[in-house]
Every structure is written in C-alpha cells, then in structure tokens.
Structure 1
Amino acid sequence: MKKLIFCLLSALFIISCTTIRQGEVGVKRRLGKLDPVVKGSGIHSYNPFTTTIIRVPTRTINLPLALENIPSKEGLNISAEMAVLYRIIPEKAPQVLTTIGEKYESVVIVSVFRSAAADVCARFFAKDMYTGQREEIEKEIAAEMHTVLEKRGIIVESVLMKSIQLPKGLAQSIEQKLEAEQQAQQMEFVLQKEHKEADRKVIEAKGIADSQKIISEGLNKQIIEYKTIEAFRQLATSPNAKIIITDGKTPMLINPNGQ
C-alpha cells in the first residue's frame, strides 16, 4: 500500500500542467524534437524533465516599426512610423518554430518589412506618401510581405503608415501645392457655375424672344378688332362711371374721380 502511494506521488511529482489560452496554441518539444500536432486552448500535462510546451500567439499582433532613410522615386530620404498587423497560422506554428525560431519577429518579419517598404516606396514620389496614394503604398507593402511570409506560416493582414517625416521644406511645399490645387479646383467649379448660369440666361432670353415672335406673328387685324370689342363689352358691364374716348377701334379710359 505504501509502495503504491509512493508511486502515485512520484508520478504526480514528475507531471506538470500548463494552460493554453484562447488566441494561442501550444507546441510540445520533447527531447529537443517538436511535435507537429499543436495543442489547442485548455489544460495540458507534460513531463517537465523531458518536455516543454512553447506558447505561440495566433491572434492578430500589432508590430510597431520605425523606418529611416526610405528612398522615394525622386531620390529623397523619408522617415516613417509604421505598423504591421500579422498573425501565425495555428497549424503551421511548429513549422515557424522549426524553420525560423521563437524570435520570428526580428528574424523574418522586420527584415521582410524593411525590404518591401524600400522597394515599394522607391516607386512613389515623396508627395504620394502625403496624399491619397498613401493607402495604395500600404497595400503594396502588405502584398509583397504576404507573398514572402505566407508560405512560412505567417499571414500579413495589413501595413499602416502612422506618420511620415519628409525632408525639411518639402512638407511645406507639398502643403502649399495641395492648397493651390484645391483653390484651382474651386475656381474651376465657380467658372463652370457661371458658364451654366450664362447658358441659362441665353436660353431664357431666346425663349422670351421666340414667345414674342409667336405672339406678334399671331396678331392680325381681325384678332385686334375682336379684342377691342371684348374690351368695350367689359367696360360696359362695369358699375363705375367712366368717360371713354375712342375712334371706334381702340378705347381710352378717363376716370372722372381722378383715381
């Protein structure tokens, strides 16, 4: 009985447990050899004398990076603060540890990022990093990194440019140029508006002229006489006192009350 208890205590003594949290996997290393089957979240036991469990994060990691002297298309050197969002493919965690090691960030990710950033930025002008081309630069850097790192078990989700430091005087000249372009676009809008208003007035004047022409062409002697008779008839039915002077063709009304 005592021997059995001693054996159980000995077994418990040489067995350790570890907890794998959500957003990470465990890779068991036994006698220096990595187990290709990863351990999911939960409690896992192992022999601490022969085995260790390496935790590898599989959630999205934000890796901030500072770059200096990035070459632009016109040969200027630019500094930037950027960030790489990446994650490890869970089932490829043993491959990452085997081929790269636990310091995969500094060994591979940073190196690939610097190479991709230099390659992509060299295809753009310095002002492009300050304008709407910025998003395109981010996407191209991420695409180049993804091509290299995906087969190594690392997914690059995106690259973010936090801040750009242009050479002295260049940032101010770019801002002045952008302001001038905005003013030119505003002036073009105003001119287009004025042209449209001028076109509207021409069309309106043409419509009035056409209307008057139609009216003048439609008036003849019979219509004028008819309108005169109508005017006399309306005056005759009016209860107010009036003095009408006429040659029989057109009436002229005089108000005796002076109103």
Structure 2
Amino acid sequence: MFLVVIGVIILIVAFAINTPSLQFSRFSRPLKFVGLIFIILGFASSTVKQIDAGRVGVQSLFGKVQEGTLTSGLNFINPLVDVTEFDTRTQNYTMSGVHDEGKQAGDDAIRVLSSDGLEVVIDLTVLYRVQPDQAPTILRKIGANYEDVIVRPITRTRIRDIAAYYEAVALYSTKRDEFQGKIFKAIEADFKARGLVLEQLLVRNINLPESVKKTIESKINAEQEAQKMQFVLQKEKQEAERKRVEAQGISDYQKIITTTLTDKQLQYEMIKAQKEIATSPNSKVIIMGGKGNTPIMINDK
C-alpha cells in the first residue's frame, strides 16, 4: 500500500499544479501518469503476499479475522486485508537462572515451594509449535504474543502447582522423572486447548537450598564410609578364614607326623642329615650318637 499512497500524493500534486498561470503546469500531465503508475503497481503488489517456509499467514479485514491460512509461497489476497504471520516450526522458551540464557533477561528461573516447605529453583526449556490450522483461532482469542500470554504463565503455574506435592530431595533425585512426566501432561493439555502443540519439556536443572545440599553431601559421605567399612570387615573375615584354614592344615600335618613317625625312621633321617653335613665342603659340626643316644658334636676347627 506504500506505493498507492505515493501515487495518490503525486496525483494530488499534479492536479494542484494543473493551472495555466503556474510555471510548472506543463509537468501536470506527466505527474498524473506517474501517479497512476504508482497506484497500479501498489494495488498489484498488495494483491500478492509471500509467506516464507515454516510459516502461515492469517488474514484480517477491518479487525475481523478470516478463517483459513495462507501457506508458504505466493498467495493472492485482497489488498485491503492485514496479514499476520505465525511461525509453525519448533520453538523453544527457556526460563533459566543464568543471566541472558533464557527469553527474559536476568534471573528467570522458576521458584517453587516443595511439600516440606523448602524453596526449589528450577531451570526449564519448553519445546512447542503452533498448530497451523489453529492459527486464526490463536490470533482471534489470544493474539500474536502467545508466548507471553500462554506459554510462559501456564508453564510456570503448572510447575508450581505440581511441585507442591513433592519433597525437595525427591524432586532432585528419585522423583525427578515422575515430576517431569506430570508437568508435561498438564501443560500439554493446556496448550492443546489453545492451538499449541507441546513437543518436549526439559527440566534442565534443579537447585536445592544450601542446607539441603549439605545434608545430602553428608549422607553420601556417610554411605561411602559405611561401604568402605563393610569392605574392610569383609577383608578381615577373609583373612581370619585363611588363617583358620592354615592352622587347621598345620594341626592335621602334625597329627599325621605324630602317628606315622617311628624311632628307626627318625634314626634314618638323622643319618642322612649327618652324611650331608660330612660331605659338605664348608665348616661343619659332626654329630654322632653316643651312649644313651646322646648326640656328640665334633667341630673340625
């Protein structure tokens, strides 16, 4: 419509100078021609609307939203309608405590109260998209700023409502998947009723109060110490069992020796030992049997 406005201005100027007494009256006819060209081009361009890939257009005429959408490509439209474009691709809305990481500047994390009265800080990312055939309804009932009207408030409210049924430590550890599944179902239903499709809900981080963190760390350290002590006790039991088996073996050996050795066998073993000593090239003490079987030691030095 910009070209149409320019063309109209040119026509007004052309008619204004179309007076024989004026010096520029001779330019009146060319200006009229140029003005008409601009108006024609403006109307022609206003009847064609290009929609990019991954987007749809919704037409509204004098404030009334029309049914149906304009798909990607070139579309012929009424030059008087306004076209509002909607992105139908996957969009993400992040609420984080890290500065400039989310949609809102500063700390935008969700602060909730758990069932045990502790404040838990949650970082969250919502992946969603606009349902193309519902774009006219969204524009009519919500508007083009559906992120601020629907996505953000509904997500934060549902998370606070559901988190109130969980203890802080459970949200952080054992019940995290269950919590994420419940808020997904609740938000999915709210989005669907308003023309949005929830694709995924990502609980990125759950921060507990410092006192709770210290308690958890103390518990983990105690469990590790208990496991370590259990290992030591198990090792000591194994060592005691080894010593018991060894002692039992020695006892059995001594019993066997006591019951099987005779005086003649001992005398034979003694003779063998004396023989080895006698034939040894080193300094030696020769032990010989005397009266009453008392050994006699003879040193060769």
Give the TM-score normalised by the residue count of structure 2.
Answer: 0.62
AA aligned to 1:153 is L
Q: Secondary structure at the match of 2:281?
A: coil
Change (3 A) 1:197 1:67: closer
Runs of 5+ in structure 2 lacking a partner?
1-36, 96-107
TM-fit CA distance, 1:216: 0.8
What is the number of residues matched between the two proteins? Answer: 241
Hey, what does 1:180 align to over in structure 2? 218
For residues 44-93 of structure 1, what are the alpha-carbon distances to aligned partners after superposition, in whole Å with 9 as ceiling and x for unaligned? 2443423625132412312325445x33213x263635333222155455
1:3 matched residue in structure 2: none
**Residues 146 and 55 of structure 1: CA distance in aligned 2, closer, same or farther (over 3 Å):** closer
Percent identity over the alignment is: 16
The code of the aligned residue for 1:88 comes to: R
2:119 to 78, 92, 97: 78
1:88 paired residue number: 129
> Which has the larger strand fraction?
1
Taking only aligned residues, the RMSD between alpha carbons, in angstroms, comes to: 3.9
2:93 corresponding residue in structure 1: 62
Question: Secondary structure of 2:201's match?
Answer: strand
What is the rounded CA distance, in whole Å, between the counterparts of 2:93 and 2:66 in structure 1? 30
Residues 155-166 of structure 1: pairs in structure 2 closer than 5 A: 155-160=198-203, 162=205, 164=207
CA distance in 2, matches of 1:233, 1:89: 106
Read off the aligned partner of 2:243 and give its amino acid letter.
Answer: A
Q: Which amino acid aligns with 1:35?
A: G
Evaluate the alpha carbon distance shift between residue 250 and residue 127 of structure 1 in structure 2; reply closer, same or farther with a 3 A threshold: farther
1:149–1:156: 8 Å Cα contact kept in structure 2? no
Larger deviation: 192-201 or 78-87? 78-87
Matched-pair contact (CA < 8 Å) for 1:20–1:55: no
The answer to whether structure 1 residue 114 and structure 2 residue 156 are counterparts is: yes
Distance 2:296 2:165 in 1: 87
Matches of 1:252 and 1:194, distance apart in 2:
54
Secondary structure at the aligned position of 2:230 is classed as: helix
Is 1:204 the equivalent of 2:250? no
Instruction: For CA contacts below 8 A with separation 6 or more, give which structure has more relative contact order.
Output: 1
1:9-158 superposed matches below 5 A: 9=41, 12-21=44-53, 24-29=54-59, 31=61, 32-35=65-68, 39-40=71-72, 43-47=73-77, 48-50=79-81, 52-64=83-95, 65-68=108-111, 70-74=112-116, 76=117, 78=119, 80=121, 82-88=123-129, 91-94=132-135, 96-97=138-139, 100-129=142-171, 131-133=172-174, 135-136=176-177, 137-150=179-192, 152-158=195-201
| Contact preservation (8 Å) 2:277, 2:286 | no
Q: Which amino acid aligns with 1:82?
A: D
Which residue of structure 1 aligns with residue 255 of structure 2? 217
CA contact (8 A) 1:116 1:144 kept: yes
User: Structure 2: how far apart are the matches of 1:231 and 1:92?
Assistant: 108
* Deviation (angstroms), 1:25: 1.8
Gaps of 5+ in 1: 1-5
Larger Rg: 2
